[in-house]
Every structure is written in structure tokens, then in C-alpha cells.
Amino acid sequence: MKRKGLVLFIVSSLLAMTLPAGPGFTQCQTTTPTASAGMEKKTIKGTIEFDERLGGYFIRGVEPGGELFIIVNQNETTLKKFKESGKTVTIEGSTTERAAEHFFIDKIDGKEYSAGKAGEPAPKKAAPR
């Protein structure tokens, strides 16, 4: 009898873990996170590059080397100039605690960086040729 109860407990526990949580238990983020909540400041030396599959513009780190950082607050006009120049720049900004590869830019080479109006989506980019 104990064995039957144990098996029933294990099966019901496994079933409970596989069921989706109700609406009261899930959190859905509908907006881009702001650069203030839960952020870690970082300075990166790297190049600005573009790849549509990565969401547009990103930083290829030289220091720290080999790391890619997706730029969350993209300003296509500014970033395109840095991409076309190919030069290594010093970028100051923040990463989220959960995903270090998402980067909010504050400054590029010591100059203030602005992505445009807050909450405005990044402009659509044409596919590279």
C-alpha cells in the first residue's frame, strides 16, 4: 500500500510540474526594460556591426574579447556611421542582470549617445546586400 501511495505521489508531482501556470503565476514583459532597473555598468572596447538575425546592431567585443552584445537602444543613424568606419570604439553602458548580451549604450568614445524618443521602437532595417 505504501508503494502505491509513493508512485501516485511521484506521478502527480511530475504532472503538476509539466502543467502551465495560470495567469496569476506568469509575468509577461510587454515593453523594453529601462536602463535603470537591475543594471550593471560596463565599459567595452569593440566594433559596431550589423546582423538582422541578431536583431540589428551589436557590439563585437575586443575587451572583453570575443563577446557579442546586442544593442537594445539602437539609433540607426549613429550606429551605421560607426559600423561603416570599422574602427574600435569605447562604449559605456549597462547590461541586464539576466542577460549580459543585451546592452544599453550611454556613451560612445566619451560622447553621449541617444537612441531617440523613449519607448520608440528601433527603425526597421533593410536587409544587408
pLDDT digits (tens, 9 = 90+) for 93-117: 988 766 557 888 889 999 998 876 5
Give dist(CA 117, CA 100) in Å, integer: 24
97 domain residue, yes or no: yes
Q: Do the domain assignments include residue 28?
A: no
User: What is the number of other CB atoms lying within 10 angstroms of the CB of residue 59?
Assistant: 25
Can the peptide bond before residue 123 be classed as cis, meaning omega within 30 degrees of 0?
Answer: no
Residue 104 lies in a domain: yes
- Averaged pLDDT score across all residues of the chain: 75
Looking at residue 65, its pLDDT comes to: 79
Share of the chain above pLDDT 70, in %: 61
Count of the separate structural domains present in the chain:
1
78 Cβ partners below 8 Å, 6+ apart?
A: 108, 113
Residue 69 belongs to what domain range?
39-112
pLDDT digits (tens, 9 = 90+) for 43-79: 999 999 999 988 899 999 998 778 888 998 999 999 9
DSSP 17: H
Threshold 0.85, pTM exceeds: no
Query: Per the domain annotation, does 123 fall within a domain?
Result: no
What are the residues facing 69 on neighbouring strands? 59
Is 14 strand, coil or helix?
Answer: helix
| 62 located within any domain | yes
* CATH code for the domain in which residue 44 is found: 2.40.50.500
